[in-house]
Amino acid sequence: MNIKKLKVKMRAAALFIPVVLIFFTFLSAFIDMDNVIASNLVGYSVLVNSYFICYHSFNKRYCYITRIAPIGLILVNFVDIIGCFINYEFYKFIFTFVISSFAIGIGVYYDLNKRIKR
């Protein structure tokens, strides 16, 4: 599948994200959704960051940091979900490692990219 078709499919799917969020907001009035997994999947979460990826990551008008940030946020959500199933010390290490690695990786890439363009 080429990248243009993938973009079109992702953007078409992204149109349903607000509907899904409204549905889960309505559902939360009847069901207690105060849960780490539910909030990371449906709150300011994987779902919302997927929407941001569809609109920001493929759009060259935005700077590199803006385009890559939703991917980092999704990584944070996944680490939070994994944290529900492991002990706190290991979770703290993974969380710090993921955030630090992502920040360092972006910084190195941005610096190298700037140096190459000179």
**pLDDT tens across the length of the chain (118 residues):** 577 777 777 777 777 777 777 787 777 777 776 677 777 777 667 888 887 877 777 777 877 777 777 887 888 888 888 888 888 888 888 888 877 888 788 878 877 887 887 7
The structure's pTM equals: 0.61
50: containing domain: 3-117
Q: How many domains does the chain have?
A: 1
Rounded Cα–Cα distance for residues 43 and 109 (Å) = 30
**DSSP secondary-structure letter at 91?**
H
Residues near 50 by Cβ (< 8 Å), separated by ≥ 6? Answer: 14, 17, 70, 74
Please give the pLDDT value at position 29: 72
